[in-house]
Amino acid sequence: MVNYKLTLAYDGTDYAGWQAQPNGTAVQEVVERAIEKVFGVKARVHGSGRTDAGVHAMGQVAHFQAPKARATIPLKRLRIALNVALPGDVRVVKVEVAPEGFHARFAAKEKTYRYQIWCDGVMDPFLRRWALHWPRPLDVAAMRRAARVLVGRHDFAAFSANPQREQESAVRTLKRLAVSQRGAMVTITATADGFLYRMVRSLTGALLKVGAGRLTAADIERILASKQRTAVVETAPPQGLFLVRVRY
């Protein structure tokens, strides 16, 4: 078998998330169908993580295995062939042959996500699928102060929208949580060794409350220390979120 590593970009608006499921078409499904068309065999595609319904990716990483007898297409032509077989909102950016033991999820060392907020009274209609509309001013300086409280190795249970999912630990190392603004676009960038379920959207929801003057950096510190999820932390909508990069 040949172990292929794919780097994927997709607009998640019309998908039920990355993982195949019964309630809608998933990105994983359309990638697997494209592989079957190109190779003539079924293959299971494993992603670096599960992006939720409506969440996008610039650098999702996945791997799959194909029999050596079928793996005769040069990598550049394989990328073209897969993109021909895929819908236009899912693209294979790069194809590589990975080591035999490579696993897109378990080998990942670090992930970076970006959340985009359009902070203006009128939403740009060309960005409505890729940014949250926030029609009131945000105190970006206050959001930055609160973000600094969250950086480091902590138990992030208070920022996990965990639907009874079993997990060994909620401790993660958040290496970067940056808030920037360019014109009307406010961007939150998060890099960590791993993220809990809807953690980035929960961090964003909390920082938005800080920017709106409803929470302070001290409140965020208390929420983090509590290790308890409450209604104070809201989950930001999916359309502003992008998986930007996975590092191995």
Catalytically annotated residues: 52
Q: How far apart are CA 82 and CA 108, in angstroms?
A: 24
Nearest to 228 by CA among 144, 150, 162: 162
Nearest to 41 by CA among 7, 73, 69, 8: 69
